[in-house]
Amino acid sequence: MRITELHVEPNWMLSIVADDGRVGRFDVRPYLQDEAFEALRDQNEFTKVVNGGYFVEWGCGADLSADTIEARWEIVGNVAKQRTA
């Protein structure tokens, strides 16, 4: 999966659009207990996420691969289906 769009939502959620049109939400909260993600407990730091296509990353060095996101996200729609409806 390649991430084509990335949006920050409240409560440490990411809204993601994949290259195949799937739209999903990914909850980062379970990762905040890990030392590498500690800085992201600050919502302002969390909002500074960058889309790397095959990963997302933050300035503190924390990152998540698209594979990890795909394995644990909640699919909520499909952009292609929404645009043709």
Cα separation, 7 vs 76, in Å, equals 14
The C-alpha atoms of residue 58 and residue 14 are separated, in whole angstroms, by 13
pTM for the whole structure:
0.90
Task: List pLDDT tens digits, range 39-79.
Answer: 999 999 999 999 999 999 999 999 999 999 999 999 999 98
Residue spans of alpha helices (H) in the chain: 43-46, 66-72, 79-84
Q: What residue numbers bound the domain in which 7 lies?
A: 3-84
Contact 66, 54 (CB under 8 A): yes
Summary mean pLDDT of the chain: 94
Q: What is the pLDDT of residue 73?
A: 98
List the CATH number of the domain containing 13: 3.30.2020
Domain count, the chain: 1
How many CB atoms lie under 10 A from the CB of residue 71?
9
